[in-house]
Amino acid sequence: MKKILLLIGFVFWTVSIFAQECFMTLTETRYWDESKAYNGYTLFGTRGVTYLIDMAGHVVHTWPIGTNPRLTEAGTLLDAVGGNPSNSNVWKELDWNGNVVWQYTETRSGYYPHHDFEKIYNKKLSDSTFIYIANKDLTSAQCIAAGCNPSNNYTGAQMDVIVEVNKSGTVIWEWSFFDHVVQDIDATKSTYGAIKDNPGKINLNLRGNPVKSDWLHCNSLDYNQDLDLIVINSVHGEFYVIDHGNTFVANDPTSSKALAASSAGDFLYRFGDPAKYNQGDPPSVLDNWEKATAGHKQIGGAHNIQWIKPGLPGAGHFLIFNNAENLFELTPQSYIFEINPYLNSAGITTSQFVNPPTAGYIIKNSPNSNLMKEKKNVSKQIVWSYSSKNNTSFYSTIGSSAQRLPNGNTLVCSMNDGHFFEVSPSDTSIVWEYINPMTRDGIKRIKVDNYPTYNGVFRAYRYSKDHPALVGHDLTPGDAITGFDPDYYTPETITSTKNNEEYLQPSSVLNQNYPNPFTYSTTIDFEIDKRRSVNVVIFDLSGRQIKTLVDKNLLAGNYSLSWDGTNDNGSHVVSGIYFYILRADNQKISKKMIYNR
C-alpha cells in the first residue's frame, strides 16, 4: 500500500477540524523535499534568542541575543540589542560562544537608529566598517528654509540618514535624504525645480504626506561591494540607490559628508512609485468607487531590499519582499520581486541604470477571477516574482525577508505568521516549510489563531555548512525548540492524484470518541490494518501533551481506549476542548473532543 498523507490529518493541520476552524497548525518544520531544497542551516531571532536550525528543525546552536541577527564573513553574529528591530541604538557582534567581540552605541543627540544595519568592507580603507539607518531630527525652521509648505506644522520632523562608523566607533561618512530634496512651490529657494525633471531628489511636499516624524520610515539597506553603492528602502513604496564610493574620502570625514550632501549623492536609481516624482500615475479610486487601481505603483510596505549576491542566480538584480500594503488591491497579498534595474523598454540589459518609467510597463490581468483583482501595470524590470495562488495564504503586513539561494530557490520569511518557506524558481512550488514555535506566550507545538506577529520573526537566513561562521564548529543537531521529534511531510508522504475523487483511503481508522461531550469517561476506538508502532496521545488547545493512552507495537485489529479526563500525573484537567492523535508508523489521524468536568 502506498504511503500517503492521510487526508483527515492533512485537513486537521491546514483546515482545523475543531472549534477554532481553519486557524490551527503544527509549528516547526512542516515539509521538506530533500531533492529540491537547498540543504543548509536556517538562522532567525525571536524573543531575544537567535536560533540556528537544520532542515529538519533540530536546534544546532543558539546565541543570547535575537532581534535582527545575521552571520558575518568574519565568522561572527551581528545583531541589534533590545528585541525591537524598529528601535535600537546598540549593536553587538558575538563569537560562536556568545562573547562580545565588538559593540557600538549611537549616543549623539537627535539621532534615532532603527531597523537595519550591515557590516561592510570599505575598499578605500581596506577594512571593515559598519553602516546603519537612523532618523535625524529637523527643526521647523530647517524645513521651511528648505522649501516645505509653510502652511504645515513641522514640529518633530525627521528624515532618515545612513551613518558609517569605523571599528573604533568614529563616524566617517553620513548621507541624508534632507540633502537631496526638491520642491516646486517656492522659487526663491535653492531646492526649487520641476519634480519630474529631478528623479534624483525627493519631493519635499508629497501629496498628503508632509515631512513629519519618521517621514520615510526606511526599513532596510544593502551594500554592493563591487559597485560601492548602497540601496535603501522606504516603507512608503520606493527604494533608492546612492553612490558611496564617489562620496567617500578616506580618512577625511568632513569631506566625505560634504560630498555625500552634494549632487554626487543624489539618487542613481529609484523604483516603486514613479508618481512620487511625477513620472507615473498614483493609486486612485475608479469611477466605480468600489474598485481602485494601483496606478504605476509597484511596491508598498516593502522590506529587505538587497542585491542578489555574486555567483547566485540573478546576481546583480534587486530582490525585495513586497508586503504590498497600500496598493489598492481589493484582495491584498504579498509578493517577492526580482528586479533588473538595467533593463530597457526593448527588454535588453544595458550597462547603466534605466529609469523604470522609461523601461515601461506591461498591463497584466489577474491569473484567476477568484483572486478578485483589477488589471494592473507591472514594471518590465520585474523579471521574476512569487505570490501564493490563494491570495489569503501569504500576506504579511510588516517586516519579512527574502533570500536567493545558490540552487536558484528563494527563502522567504513572512513575519506576521512566523512562517518560513523555500520556493523553487520554475514552478514556484514550496520545497521546505517551517513555522516558528516561539510565541508571546512561550513555546507552542500548535499555533492557533492570534493577532499578527504573535510568533513573528523579522527575517530568516539560510547558510551553508562552509560559511565562515560555521566552519570548525560543532553542528551536531540537538532537540527541536518544542522538544518534540521533528514530524514533517515529505514528497513520499504526499501523493497527487489526477482525479479528486480517487484519493486512496487511510490504512488506519480513528473513530470519534463516545460519549462526546463527556464528564466522567470517554471511549476511543481505532483500527489498524497490520502490525504497526502505535501512539495515541491527548493534547490541549495550546499544543501541550496531556496524556499518552498507548505507545507500543500492536497487531492488526480493532482497539478501544478510555480516558477519564486526567493527565499523565493523574490530576483532572480543566473543562474544554481537547484533541487526540493516532500515530501509526507514518500515518497521523486527529479528532477533537469536549470534556465537561
Q: Which residues have C-beta within 8 Å of that of residue 498, sequence separation ≥ 6? A: none
CB 438 within 8 A of CB 48: no
Residue 376 lies in a domain: no
Number of domains present in the structure of the chain: 1
56 in the Ramachandran plot: left (φ > 0), alpha (ψ -120 to 50) or beta?
alpha
pTM listed for this prediction: 0.82
Output the pLDDT for position 6: 34
Residue 37 lies in a domain: no
Which ranges in 428-580 belong to alpha helices (H)? none
Q: How far apart are CA 340 and CA 276, in angstroms?
A: 21
Cell of 218: 526606511
Output the pLDDT for position 226: 97
Residue 464 lies in a domain: no
Residue 240 lies in a domain: no
CB 239 within 8 A of CB 318: yes
Residue 579 lies in a domain: yes
Q: Which residues have C-beta within 8 Å of that of residue 390, sequence separation ≥ 6? A: none
Q: How far apart are CA 326 and CA 484, in angstroms?
A: 40
**Which residue type is seen at 486?**
P
The dihedrals phi and psi of 177, each to the nearest 5 degrees, come to: -60, -35
Q: How far apart are CA 383 and CA 147, in angstroms?
A: 38
Output the pLDDT for position 155: 96
Q: How far apart are CA 193 and CA 24, in angstroms?
A: 55
CB 316 within 8 A of CB 338: no
Q: pLDDT tens string for the chain (597 positions)?
A: 333 333 333 333 333 322 333 467 889 999 999 999 999 999 999 999 999 999 999 999 999 999 999 999 999 999 999 878 888 899 999 999 999 999 999 999 999 999 999 999 999 999 999 999 999 999 999 999 999 999 999 999 999 999 999 999 999 999 999 999 999 999 999 999 999 999 999 999 999 999 999 999 999 999 999 999 999 999 999 999 999 999 999 999 999 999 999 999 999 999 999 999 999 999 999 888 888 899 999 999 999 999 999 999 999 999 999 999 989 888 999 999 999 999 999 999 999 999 999 999 999 998 888 888 888 999 999 999 999 998 889 999 999 999 999 999 999 999 999 999 999 998 889 999 999 999 999 999 998 889 999 999 999 999 999 999 999 999 999 999 999 889 898 887 765 444 433 333 456 788 899 998 888 899 999 898 888 889 899 988 767 899 999 999 888 899 999 999 999 999 999 888 888 999 887 678 888 888 887
Output the pLDDT for position 409: 98
Cell of 398: 510588516
Output the pLDDT for position 508: 78
Long-range contacts of 574-579 (CB under 8 A, 24+ apart): 576/540, 576/541, 577/18, 577/19, 577/541, 578/538, 578/539, 578/540, 578/541, 578/546, 579/18, 579/538, 579/539, 579/541
Residue 536 lies in a domain: yes
**What percentage of the chain's residues is helix, strand, coil (to nearest 5)?**
10, 40, 55
Q: Are strands 49-53 and 41-46 parallel, antiparallel or unpaired?
A: antiparallel
CB 235 within 8 A of CB 217: yes
Q: Tally the residues of the chain.
A: 597
**Which residue type is seen at 296?**
H
Q: How far apart are CA 102 and CA 72, in angstroms?
A: 12
Residue 299 lies in a domain: no
Range of the structural domain that residue 558 is part of = 508-595
- How does DSSP classify residue 571? P
Count of helix runs (H) and strand runs (E) in the chain: 4, 42
Output the pLDDT for position 494: 66
Output the pLDDT for position 507: 67
63 in the Ramachandran plot: left (φ > 0), alpha (ψ -120 to 50) or beta?
beta
516: CATH? 2.60.40.1930
CB 495 within 8 A of CB 2: yes
Residue 560 lies in a domain: yes
CB 59 within 8 A of CB 86: no
